[in-house]
Amino acid sequence: MTRSKALFERAQKSIPGGVNSPVRAFRGVGGTPPFVVRGQGSHIVDADGKEYVDYVCSWGPLLLGHRHPEIVEALNRALETGTSFGIPTEGEVELAEAICEAVPSIEMVRLVNSGTEATMSALRLARAATGRDLIVKFEGCYHGHVDSLLAKAGSGVATLGIPDTAGVPQSFAATTVTLPFNNVQALAECFDVYKDKIAAVIVEPVVGNMGCVPPAPGFLQALRETTARNGALLIFDEVMTGFRVAYGGAQELYGIRPDLTTLGKVLGGGLPIGAYGGRRDLMSMVAPSGPVYQAGTLSGNPLAVSAGLAMLRYLKSHPEVYTQLEARTARLAAAAPSSITVNRVGSMFTFFFTSEPVTDFDSAMKSDRARFAEFHRWMLERGFYLPPSQFEAAFVSAAHTEEDIERTVEAARAWFSKQA
């Protein structure tokens, strides 16, 4: 028995499913998940000493790879002064200023501890600002495990949500309307029906949680125009795209300015963090300035703040990182044959095992998950760690070398040629 298998069996006795986030359990691909003992650059090593080129990158945060020296140095400096105070620090101000400078729509920002916390808080703020209750989301977009957002569409274009998980009351899910992604007509019909009840539309501007699905031309602009015309807010969930697809996130890349933005992942440099920010008039409603309560014991803790500041300062001073990521990820995407649909935005990508275009949740679900699982096992055996689900985006980091990319392309093409 391998050490990873023994650890997995042991973990299942004390942790639900043996993991602390469901996709890690390998249910989507079969087999035993490797248990990691260390990472460096673009590589990770498991408990049995096997080394992998890592395309999960902690599900996106590690834009500079594992243990980047400037982030490690920043963390070491922070550890010399303390891990948490629950009292304001200068670092929090510096990170807030850096976020406001980087992200086009953010004039004020509040730090929290996760992307889920950020989206939950942004929705509360949107409801308070508009005096309305309904939230519009898009099928296949994940905004954290917020009760009201764990809903899927029923029959029809604009149907009030039904719970998509046990433990969520119908009344919570009924505050959410779920629409098909990239469908402007569905958006228009939804506002025709619920016009004066919609507080906000929340969207991943580039979806990552049904695999990488970019916005269709004009879709984000339609969201901006429709919400503005109807007195609703537009929230960009940039937890995944923020600082990854561009320094200023997807809103910089596509030239759309939302009212509120949620952030996480890359922002923390590999440590847990979240943030929500936007227009000054909206953020001034957050306590203690205004009536919208939100608080957190470890919000703005010096470790996460130090890692985040190091990350943002590095990216700002090294804009060539994004050019490099674009080129290397494009080379990976080119490895797939025409029978595979490859979606990519910057350093996010997905090989969809379907020959049809993937533009929304329904088209993503047409992918051959059994073939994806075979491909995943082939790559894993050869030392390449891809997301263990057809419906999760993969990531390239600045630490991935030309050799990493070339070896990955060769291994992928070897599998594809066997299938021809």
SS3 (DSSP) at 135: strand
Span 45-68, average pLDDT: 98
What's the rounded Cα separation, in Å, for the pair 92 and 2?
Answer: 44
Contacting residues for 161 by C-beta, under 8 A, at least 6 apart? 148, 151, 152, 153, 154, 173, 174, 175, 176, 177, 178
Tell me: pLDDT of 176 over 60: yes
Q: Give yes or no on whether 3-55+319-419 and 69-317 have one common fold.
A: no
Domain definitions of the chain by residue range: 3-55+319-419, 69-317
DSSP 215: P
Q: How many CB atoms lie within 10 A of CB 83?
A: 10
Residue 352 β-bridge partners: 341
- Report the run of H or E that residue 326 belongs to, with start and end: helix 320-333
Q: Please provide the CATH number assigned to the domain covering 69-317.
A: 3.40.640.10
At residue 342, what are phi and psi to the nearest 5 degrees? Answer: -110, 120
User: Of 14, 232, 11, whose CA–CA distance to 123 is shortest?
Assistant: 232
Residue 163 pLDDT: 56
Residue 155 pLDDT: 27
What does the angle CA 16 – CA 19 – CA 22 come to, to the nearest 5 degrees? 85
237: annotated active-site residue = yes
What's the rounded Cα separation, in Å, for the pair 313 and 266?
Answer: 12
Tell me: pLDDT of 268 over 50: yes
Span 133-158, average pLDDT: 73
What's the rounded Cα separation, in Å, for the pair 314 and 150?
Answer: 36
What's the rounded Cα separation, in Å, for the pair 126 and 149?
Answer: 14
Residue 169 pLDDT: 79
What's the rounded Cα separation, in Å, for the pair 239 and 116?
Answer: 9
Span 304-323, average pLDDT: 98
Residue 146 pLDDT: 82
What does the angle CA 151 – CA 155 – CA 158 come to, to the nearest 5 degrees? 70
265: annotated active-site residue = yes
Span 239-248, average pLDDT: 98
Please give the class, per CATH, of domain 3-55+319-419: alpha beta
DSSP 230: T
Please check whether residue 159 is in contact with residue 177, taking contact to mean a CB–CB distance below 8 angstroms: yes
Q: How many CB atoms lie within 10 A of CB 225?
A: 14
**pLDDT one-digit tens code per residue, 3-24:** 999 999 999 999 999 999 999 9
Could you say which of 142, 194, 254, 322 is catalytic? 142
User: Of 230, 31, 39, 237, whose CA–CA distance to 122 is shortest?
Assistant: 237
Instruction: Place 49 in a pLDDT band, splitting at 50, 70 and 90.
Output: very high
What's the rounded Cα separation, in Å, for the pair 17 and 129?
Answer: 40
Instruction: Place 154 in a pLDDT band, splitting at 50, 70 and 90.
Output: very low
Tell me: pLDDT of 157 over 60: no
Termini Cα distance of the chain: 34
Could you say which of 46, 52, 54, 237 is catalytic? 237
User: DSSP of 139-186, one letter per residue?
Assistant: TT----S-GGGSEE--SSSSEE-EESSTT--HHHHTTEEEE-TT-HHH
281: annotated active-site residue = no
Residue 29 pLDDT: 96
Tell me: pLDDT of 168 over 60: yes
Contacting residues for 385 by C-beta, under 8 A, at least 6 apart? 34, 44, 52, 53, 54, 55, 56, 379
Q: How many CB atoms lie within 10 A of CB 305?
A: 27
Single-letter amino acid code for the residue at 300: G
- Report the run of H or E that residue 331 belongs to, with start and end: helix 320-333
Residue 149 pLDDT: 79
Could you say which of 265, 276, 314, 360 is catalytic? 265
